[in-house]
C-alpha cells in the first residue's frame, strides 16, 4: 500500500468525510479547482494565491517497465513548469473525497489528465490544505502518475 493511500485511509478513519456539496467542502475544493484552472491556462502565476509559500509537491511516476521515479518540487518549481503552449491541458478529479478537521483538510481522489482532449495519464491526487486567516491554501500535493488503466 502506498504512503499517500495509507495517509488517506488513516485520515478518513479519524475524520468523517465532508459532504462534497457543503459550503465548507466547496471552500476546501476551491484552491484545488484553481490549480486545475491554472494548469488549463498554463499559467503558473495563477497558483501563488492558492499555495502556502513553502508548499511541496511529490510525484511518483510509474514507468512503462514498471519502475518508479520519485520527484519532489517546491511550489515555485511547480509553477515554473507551467508554460504557455499550443496544447490544451485539462485535469479532472471525478469523485474527490474531502476530509476536514478544524483548520486542516485533505482532498483525495483519482484524476485524469488530458492533452487536447485525449487522456495523457492518470493516477491519484492527495492535496493537504490548511486554513489560515479564514482562507484554505494548499500545503502539499502528492500524486501518482501512470499511462495505463486510465479509462475515462
- The Cα-based distances of 56 to 25, 72, 79, 105, 151 in angstroms read 22, 7, 11, 16, 29
Which residue from 74, 61, 65 is spatially nearest to 120, judged by alpha carbons? 61
Q: What is the pTM of this model?
A: 0.86
Per-residue pLDDT in tens (0 to 9) along the chain, 152 residues: 555 555 555 555 556 788 777 899 999 999 999 999 999 999 999 999 999 999 999 999 999 888 999 999 999 999 999 999 999 999 999 999 999 999 999 999 999 999 999 999 999 999 999 999 999 999 999 999 999 999 86
Which residue has 466547496 as its cell numbers?
A: 26
Amino acid at each position: 500500500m502506498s504512503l499517500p493511500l495509507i495517509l488517506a485511509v488513516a485520515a478518513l478513519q479519524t475524520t468523517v468525510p465532508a459532504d462534497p456539496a457543503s459550503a465548507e467542502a466547496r471552500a476546501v475544493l476551491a484552491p484545488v479547482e484553481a490549480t486545475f484552472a491554472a494548469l488549463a491556462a498554463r499559467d503558473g502565476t495563477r497558483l501563488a494565491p492558492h499555495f502556502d509559500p513553502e508548499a511541496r509537491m511529490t510525484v511518483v511516476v510509474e514507468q512503462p517497465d514498471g519502475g518508479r521515479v520519485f520527484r519532489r518540487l517546491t511550489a515555485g518549481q511547480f509553477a515554473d513548469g507551467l508554460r504557455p503552449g499550443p496544447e490544451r491541458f485539462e485535469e479532472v478529479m471525478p469523485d474527490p473525497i474531502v476530509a476536514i478537521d478544524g483548520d486542516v483538510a485533505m482532498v483525495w481522489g483519482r484524476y485524469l489528465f488530458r492533452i487536447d482532449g485525449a487522456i495523457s495519464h492518470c493516477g491519484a491526487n492527495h492535496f493537504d490544505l490548511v486554513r489560515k486567516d479564514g482562507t484554505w491554501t494548499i500545503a502539499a500535493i502528492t500524486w501518482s502518475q501512470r499511462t495505463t488503466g486510465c479509462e475515462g
